Amino acid sequence: MDLEPAKKEFLQAMRGIISTVTVVSAKNGENKQAMTATSVASLSLDPPSMLVCINREASIHEVMKEGLGFCINILSLGQKNLADICSIKEKEKERFLEGNWSELENIPYNIDSQSNLFCNCVQAIQTSRSEERRVGKECRSRW
């Protein structure tokens, strides 16, 4: 990826921001995807709502559709391998082989995670040429 100097500097600065690492997972038919995400935020308590930012080139972009569910897997300390695999495009086929995965209402989730938030995707918002936001409502958790 050939980036302009300003973009490279921005990415370097962003690496210094500490945030919880999550893996977002979703399924549409037989297409099941997962990606490492740090751009995840709570939106509302009533109704329980979350916001996830997705690069439009990420494979999960085509799977997380309005009307379908997705899961935010909040990783535990021992899940660095899962975070790494889910952040490398060339390792897409290995993502669901790492750790213990199951499905709840057709939504894949990682059993080993610290917790899981299951959400219904109610809105896709294009924010730039490279990114979209997904709003998930009616989120419920599994501890």
Give the pLDDT confidence score for residue 16 in this predicted structure.
78
User: What does the pLDDT read at residue 5?
Assistant: 84
Q: What is the pLDDT of residue 38?
A: 81
| Strands 101-104, 48-55: pairing kind | unpaired
DSSP state of 94: G
Check residue 97 and give its pLDDT. Answer: 95
Distance of CA 60 to the CA centre of its chain: 8
pLDDT at 127: 85
What confidence score (pLDDT) does residue 116 get? 97
Q: What is the pLDDT of residue 129?
A: 85
pTM of the entire predicted model: 0.87
Instruction: Identify which of 22, 27, 20, 19 has the alpha carbon closest to the alpha carbon of residue 70.
Output: 27
Cβ-proximal residues to 58 (8 Å cutoff; 6+ apart), any chain: 33, 35
For the chain, 143 residues long, the average pLDDT of each consecutive 10-residue run is: 75 78 95 93 93 92 94 95 94 93 97 96 89 91 84
Give the whole-angstrom CA distance, residue 98 versus residue 96.
5
Q: What pLDDT is recorded for position 3? A: 65
By DSSP bridging, strand 31-37 and strand 22-28 are antiparallel
3-state DSSP assignment of residue 142? strand
Q: What is the pLDDT of residue 6?
A: 83
Helix/strand/coil for 34: strand
Which residues make Cβ contacts (< 8 Å) with residue 26, sequence separation at least 6?
32, 33, 34, 60, 63, 64, 68, 69, 70, 71, 107, 108, 121
